[in-house]
Amino acid sequence: MSSTRVRKDSGPTRQERYCSSTAYEHGLSGNVTSKRCHLLSPDEAELLLFVQKRSWEIRGGIKAIAEEMLAHHAGFLGTYSMRHTDKRNETNYTAEEVRRIRNEIFPGEIFSAGQHAFPLLDDEPLSNTDIRMILSTNRGHDFPDASDVENAPSSYPVSTMVNACRTAAEESLAGHLERICLDPEFEFNADALWYVDLEGMVKAYMVACVQEANHGLVATAIGERVTDSLDFALQEGGFVIVQGRGRIGKTFAAKHWCEQHPGVARYIQIPSSDDELALVRSFAKALGVGHSSTYKVSQIRTKIEEVIQRGDLMLVLDEAHYLWPQKARIKDAFPKRINWLMTAVLNHGVTCAAITTPQFTKTQEQVEQNTHWTSEQFHGRVTHFETLPDTMTVEDLVMIAETLLPDANPEIYGLLADYGIATCRFIAGVEAIAKRARYEAKGTPSIDLVFDVMQRSGRLPKALEQPAQKPKTKKTDRPTSSSLFQKPILQARCSIPAGSVQRQEPVYA
């Protein structure tokens, strides 16, 4: 039942009154954008899904996207006539060209607004009525009042008209981007009059964002295998599982791959809680779908299924072992999340990849042994299963250490790499020691400081140093905690001699 009660200004202030402000609405709806993409070509849909995703990631939403596009891709500004005239900034437009261009910059019924902004020598003088009408609509606000045709020029520089397009675009680009993603009647270039190629402008912006994500990327052997599996899934479709132990770079590689494909993929981290609400909300956040506390689980699930089942997006599910029941008594748990993934996602031909640890298959076996659930249908949907190595190479860890400490002594890189392997912490170990040493040195650390940080980290709780799988060796062959962190032993274990590490530029995938 609706209420017409209104809070009096003299009453107490309620914080919730501001929650419905439009200032908090900065992202584009995933549901509406997916419907719009269904009417476009795959290339156009990819651009729209990129803009929709970016609107949720960047502070300021769609307005911030418009500002970045105008700041870095102003070369796409220009009207239809400017596009076909193809004149450079050092030339002028003739009087006839100016008339066509100014009417395109100021479209609508009041074409005299263009004459008010860019008067020509042989123009008919504007009447006072026309000038008042122009000013009342604010169509000449940013331009000087040069309606005196006796002092008007006979031509205008190209740069002047480009600046006029920029002024118009600053006011309208955010609205154009929003309409492109949501309005089924809006066309890329036909309805956007101040851009030489708005579609090309969005594409150039997407390429720039991908290149920015590639900056400083270290391509490890494990990362390349993760990338190859995801590339296979994107090209061939189906369900791909990538399984490997923790701390070897699976998540980083999966996230980075999604950043390289912002218009076709979404990264989703499966929550560890066993409730359905947490699962559907994780999907809703990644897809840009409404998931406020007022929505029921069934409502959110319906929204995300509408987006997913249109098939425009590939899903990359990290921590996928949490899709299985996380209960102490597996026999009382049924794999509801797995069943939903099969029926609502895979059965509709949606491409999906699962990034997981060996816990995935272990829990699956426990579920099969203790319940009536069988895995035949699930296995039938898996198109590729990639098992990653249990360890990282010294060379990969050295490259990561170089990225973290670019100006350090080359001996430090080998020392950090051996520490990561010896503790079975791999990337996490190298990163932890490098960051702490860099912090204490207030810059580039010395090898003595790095070793000192390693010794202090050796006194961490055993749980932080415990590897997922221990090699089966005799007790006498295992190094003790005191011998493991002795400087001579670490140096002896280092397979890369001091001074032999060659500086390598970041690898761009």
User: Which residue has tokens 């609405």?
Assistant: 25
Range of the domain at 351: 216-387
Helices 297-308, 30-37: inter-axial angle, 10-degree rounding: 30
pLDDT on residue 110? 47
Mean pLDDT of all residues in 389-406 = 95
CA–CA gap between residue 93 and residue 125 (Å, rounded): 21
pLDDT on residue 332? 64
> φ, ψ for residue 96 (rounded to 5)?
-65, -40
Task: State pLDDT tens for residues 185-199.
Answer: 888 766 667 887 889
Percent of residues in the chain assigned helix, strand, coil, to nearest 5: 55, 5, 40
Bridge pairing between strands 265-269 and 92-93: unpaired
- Band of the pLDDT at 131, cuts 50, 70, 90? low
In 3D, which of 12, 242, 40 has the Cα closest to residue 52? Answer: 40
| Statement to judge: residues 221 and 335 lie in one domain | yes
User: Does residue 64 belong to any structural domain of this protein?
Assistant: no
In 3D, which of 338, 331, 329 has the Cα closest to residue 361? Answer: 338
pLDDT on residue 129? 59
pLDDT on residue 193? 73
Q: What is the CATH number of the domain that holds 261?
A: 3.40.50.300
| Statement to judge: residues 222 and 332 lie in one domain | yes
| pLDDT exceeds 80 at position 241 | yes
pLDDT on residue 192? 66
Side-chain-side CA neighbours of residue 87 (13 Å): 21
| pLDDT exceeds 90 at position 431 | yes
Residue % of the chain over a pLDDT of 90: 53
pLDDT on residue 471? 43
User: Which residue has tokens 């010896």?
Assistant: 422
> φ, ψ for residue 102 (rounded to 5)?
-70, -30
Amino acid at 159: S
CA–CA gap between residue 270 and residue 281 (Å, rounded): 10
**Tokens representing residue 399 in the block:** 């490259």
Contacts of 391 (CB under 8 A, 6+ apart): 248, 421, 424, 426
CA–CA gap between residue 87 and residue 79 (Å, rounded): 12
Task: State pLDDT tens for residues 30-43.
Answer: 999 999 999 999 99
pTM of the model: 0.82
| pLDDT exceeds 70 at position 501 | no
Residues linked to residue 318 through DSSP beta bridges, in sequence order: 269, 355
pLDDT on residue 287? 96
pLDDT on residue 17? 75
For residue 385, give the DSSP letter.
E
Task: State pLDDT tens for residues 274-309.
Answer: 889 999 999 999 999 988 888 999 999 999 999 999
**Tokens representing residue 15 in the block:** 């914080």
- Vertex 112 angle, CA 110 and 115, to 5°: 145
pLDDT on residue 502? 40
Task: State pLDDT tens for residues 115-125.
Answer: 667 888 777 66
Last-in-domain residue among 369, 387, 405: 387
Taking all residues of the chain, what is their mean pLDDT, rounded to a whole number?
82
**Tokens representing residue 500 in the block:** 């032999």
Mean pLDDT of all residues in 403-408 = 94
Q: Residue 416: count other Cβ atoms within 10 Å of its Cβ.
A: 30
CA–CA gap between residue 55 and residue 480 (Å, rounded): 52
User: Does residue 153 belong to any structural domain of this protein?
Assistant: no
Give the H or E element holding residue 112: helix 112-117
Q: What is the chain's alpha carbon radius of gyration, rounded to the nearest angstrom? A: 30
- Band of the pLDDT at 146, cuts 50, 70, 90? very low
| Statement to judge: residues 261 and 321 lie in one domain | yes
Report how far apart, in Å, the C-alpha atoms of 265 and of each of 53, 254, 351 are: 10, 10, 9
Lowest-confidence pick of 37-46, 51-60, 440-449, 485-494: 485-494
| Statement to judge: residues 363 and 418 lie in one domain | no
On whether the CB atoms of residues 307 and 30 are closer than 8 A, the answer is yes
User: Does residue 440 belong to any structural domain of this protein?
Assistant: yes
User: Does residue 352 belong to any structural domain of this protein?
Assistant: yes
CA–CA gap between residue 77 and residue 55 (Å, rounded): 22
User: Does residue 378 belong to any structural domain of this protein?
Assistant: yes
N-term to C-term CA, the chain? 57
Mean pLDDT of all residues in 218-225 = 94
The SS3 assignment for 441 reads helix
On whether the CB atoms of residues 489 and 483 are closer than 8 A, the answer is yes
Domain count across the chain: 2
| pLDDT exceeds 80 at position 396 | yes
CA–CA gap between residue 255 and residue 317 (Å, rounded): 10
Mean pLDDT of all residues in 140-165 = 70
| Statement to judge: residues 444 and 348 lie in one domain | no
Mean pLDDT of all residues in 196-204 = 90
User: Does residue 137 belong to any structural domain of this protein?
Assistant: no
pLDDT on residue 32? 96
pLDDT on residue 187? 82
Last-in-domain residue among 327, 358, 387: 387
Last-in-domain residue among 338, 357, 387: 387
| Statement to judge: residues 226 and 366 lie in one domain | yes
pLDDT on residue 330? 63
User: Does residue 209 belong to any structural domain of this protein?
Assistant: no
Amino acid at 411: E
pLDDT on residue 400? 95
User: Does residue 407 belong to any structural domain of this protein?
Assistant: yes
| Statement to judge: residues 323 and 409 lie in one domain | no
Task: State pLDDT tens for residues 71-111.
Answer: 999 888 888 888 788 786 678 998 889 888 888 887 754 45
